[in-house]
């Protein structure tokens, strides 16, 4: 058996808001591939690291969603059941023998790089990383059409939020009792709502489109589309609550301001803050501004039931325009690219 080697700490950007890999040490593990599940929402590869003739010792190597990996040049077929591979990545602090994969060394000596900002670890012959088209600065003003294009986040889901949110005592107790591995409905492929569809979008692209006077915000994240009502009247009390809520937009100079209410999704997820309770009285304000050729995303939310003061994050996401990208199918199934 090849012993697990602990290396330097690594900040891992886990999907579904799970913090089990966050700031965890990196390990290297070697074993024989016994199972491959190349699909959304996560790719998993199971290996047996036991010594010959010894008891089975299974490790699960988790990657990001199949769509994101496809854009990095990694598709099903690089790895075969029966291959003896070496893997490196952050070790879960919640699940035994579970690793967030950053690098895999194949039997022939080539290497797969799973992270967008990763680098080869063992081989000069490698596939993966970030082979996306170069980012191009947007010179058009947002209100003149500059926002209406495909945007890709820089670095995936951020984990930069302060870890002590301003919560009421009951909300804090509920948040502290929340266990992401047991209570997160997205792990069972439930379609998430606001604000999670924006704050846990990862490296999936988003796209703004015109629909008459209104705006459609499409996301590869579960292939959700938000309708932003421009010039809508305030107080949409007759609108039935929904997971995405009811979004009203307006222009403040060059900033698209979107206010969303009537949200029925039960959690305010802002990684690494996952599982904060959210009531139907929550109001979320998003600001989209083109600055220095990039799209900057600011977020402000207030829930009078659960927050003692608003939660605000400036520059929470920074998106770039990379011409040539397209939205893919992002569901709990194999990834298929579409135009």
Considering the four listed CATH numbers 3.40.50.720, 3.90.226.10, 2.40.50.140, 1.10.10.520, the one that applies to the domain covering 5-128 is 2.40.50.140
Q: Measuring CA to CA, how many Å separate 187 from each of 15, 16, 87, 104, 301?
A: 10, 7, 24, 25, 25
Asked if 92 contacts 100 with a C-beta cutoff of 8 angstroms, the reply is yes
List of E strands, the chain = 5-10, 24-37, 44-48, 58-62, 84-91, 98-105, 111-113, 126-128, 150-153, 206-211, 214-219, 225-230, 246-252, 255-261, 267-270, 273-277, 283-291, 294-302, 311-320
- Residues whose CB is less than 8 angstroms from the CB of residue 301 and which lie 6 or more positions away in sequence, other chains included: 195, 268, 282, 283, 284, 285, 307, 310, 311, 312
Q: What CATH architecture does domain 142-320 belong to?
A: Beta Barrel (2.40)
pTM of the predicted model, to two decimals? Answer: 0.80
In order along its 339 residues, the chain shows pLDDT tens digits of: 333 443 333 333 333 444 677 777 888 999 999 999 988 778 899 999 987 777 788 999 998 888 888 888 888 889 999 999 999 999 988 788 899 899 999 999 999 998 776 788 998 899 888 767 788 999 998 888 999 999 988 766 766 676 789 999 999 999 999 988 788 888 777 889 999 999 988 778 999 999 999 999 999 988 899 999 997 655 567 789 999 999 999 999 999 999 999 999 999 999 888 899 999 999 999 999 999 999 999 999 999 999 999 999 999 999 999 898 888 877 776 555 544
pLDDT tens digits along 142-159: 888 999 999 988 766 766
3-state secondary structure of 33: strand
What pLDDT shows up at residue 6? Answer: 37
Instruction: At 263, list the tokens.
Output: 């949200």
Q: Which DSSP symbol is given to 15?
A: G
Domain boundaries, the chain: 5-128, 142-320
pLDDT tens digits along 3-27: 344 333 333 333 344 467 777 788 8
């Amino acid at each position: 058996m090849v012993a697990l080697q602990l290396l330097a700490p690594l900040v891992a950007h886990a999907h579904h808001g799970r913090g089990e890999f966050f700031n965890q040490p990196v390990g290297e593990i070697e074993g024989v591939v016994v199972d491959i599940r190349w699909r959304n929402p996560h790719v998993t590869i199971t290996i047996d690291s036991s010594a010959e003739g010894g008891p089975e010792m299974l490790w699960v190597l988790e990657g990001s969603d199949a769509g994101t990996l496809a854009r990095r040049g990694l598709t099903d077929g690089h790895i075969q059941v029966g291959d003896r591979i070496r893997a490196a990545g952050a070790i879960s602090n919640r699940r035994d023998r579970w690793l967030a994969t950053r690098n895999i060394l194949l039997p022939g000596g080539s290497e797969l790089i799973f992270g967008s900002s990763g680098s080869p670890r063992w081989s000069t012959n490698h596939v993966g990383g970030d082979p996306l088209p170069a980012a191009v600065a947007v010179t058009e003003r947002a209100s003149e059409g500059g926002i209406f294009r495909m945007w890709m986040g820089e670095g995936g889901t951020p984990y930069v939020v302060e870890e002590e949110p301003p919560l009421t005592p009951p909300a804090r107790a509920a948040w502290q009792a929340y266990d992401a591995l047991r209570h997160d409905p997205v792990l069972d492929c439930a379609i998430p709502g606001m604000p999670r569809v924006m704050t846990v979008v990862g490296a999936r692209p988003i796209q703004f489109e015109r629909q008459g006077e209104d705006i459609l915000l499409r996301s590869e994240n579960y292939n959700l589309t938000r309708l932003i009502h421009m010039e809508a009247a305030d107080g949409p009390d007759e609108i039935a609550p929904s997971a995405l809520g009811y979004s009203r937009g307006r222009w403040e100079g060059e900033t698209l301001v979107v206010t969303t209410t009537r949200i029925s999704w039960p959690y305010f997820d802002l990684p690494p803050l996952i599982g904060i309770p959210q009531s139907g009285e929550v109001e979320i304000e998003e600001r989209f501004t083109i600055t220095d050729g990039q799209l900057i995303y600011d977020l402000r939310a207030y829930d009078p039931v659960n927050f003692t003061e608003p939660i605000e994050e400036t520059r929470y996401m920074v998106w770039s325009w990379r011409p040539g990208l397209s939205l893919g199918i992002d569901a709990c199934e194999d990834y298929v690219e579409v135009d």
